[in-house]
Structure 1
Amino acid sequence: MIKQSALAAEYVYYKDKVSRDADVHALARDFAKAKERFAECERFGRFHPDYNEALDRVYELEARLEAIGPVKQYKEAEQAVDLLLHEVSLVIARAVSDSIKVPDNNPNPKGCGSGGSCSCGGGGCG
């Protein structure tokens, strides 16, 4: 059912579009090289003479890559499918028990995850 959804079809369409885009491949190669260079600098921390330059280059290439139309559309489609899958997982989990934790990709999750009464704002605490 999910695999045949419009969201999944859009995701597959943009994934294919990105995989066929020569500009995306070239920029992705440059981005990978920049990340490797930064990883070498990062071994020595911010005291490495090229640390800031390497980090700036990674950010620059990442922004250029994400500004390409098909990449932006692919990421939006990916997030939509991820949200759908999370909602389905949540419905299934809640059908079993309200205490089942359902992971998601939220970079700022609520609660501490301890299950204690810490008043952190999470569903399982206090």
Structure 2
Amino acid sequence: MMMTDEWITIIEQAEQLSEMLLSSEMVADYRRAHDTVYSDVELGKSIKEFTTMKERYEEVQRFGRYHPDYHIVMKSIRVQKRELDVNEQVAALRLAENDVQEMLDEIGSIIAKSVSPAVKVPAGSAFFTSDSSCGGSCGTGSSCSCSA
């Protein structure tokens, strides 16, 4: 493939879009929330413990309730997850992540539609599912008679 003026223009516009995204207020909010969460020593310790417990949880899931530590791990993972869920800093980070993801999904959808209306957009996108008559969960576009 040869590099043409059109390709160079597209690359320059993509770089401009990237710079605009990185300098946006949503990304700045995300970075602040991320720094707040991961600069807190105690919270970092809790996250590390939860990650370790998730690994044990995955091991236990392979054997199900027949694993000797099944009940202990299941209870512990729920308690640790709940502690992280109710933490204000973690909640703020999750909201900021969701905002950035929604923005990226919307931009991706706009770009896809500008290329062609036939371009598929991932069904998991909140932006896409609002346009779909079936809620976007079928993934086939035809088996449920939706208009996806």
Any unmatched runs of 5+ in structure 2? 1-19, 130-134
Aligned with 2:122 (options 87, 98, 103): 103
State the TM-score, normalized to the length of structure 2: 0.72
Question: 1:85 aligned to 2:110?
Answer: no
Identical aligned residues as a percent: 31
1:11–1:78 CA contact under 8 A, matched in 2: yes
Q: Which is greater in Rg?
A: 2
Question: 1:30 aligned to 2:55?
Answer: no
RMSD of aligned residue pairs (Cα, Å): 2.2
Question: 1:114 aligned to 2:140?
Answer: yes
Aligned with 1:60 (options 52, 62, 79): 79
Q: Which amino acid aligns with 2:83?
A: R
Q: Which has the higher contact order (CA 8 A, sep 6+)?
A: 1
Structure whose residues are more often helix by fraction = 2
Question: 1:40 aligned to 2:59?
Answer: yes
1:112–1:120 CA contact under 8 A, matched in 2: no
Any unmatched runs of 5+ in structure 1? none
Q: How many residues align?
A: 122
Q: Which amino acid aligns with 1:20?
A: S
State the TM-score, normalized to the length of structure 1: 0.83
111 and 17 in structure 1: CA distance in 2 versus 1, 3 angstrom threshold: closer
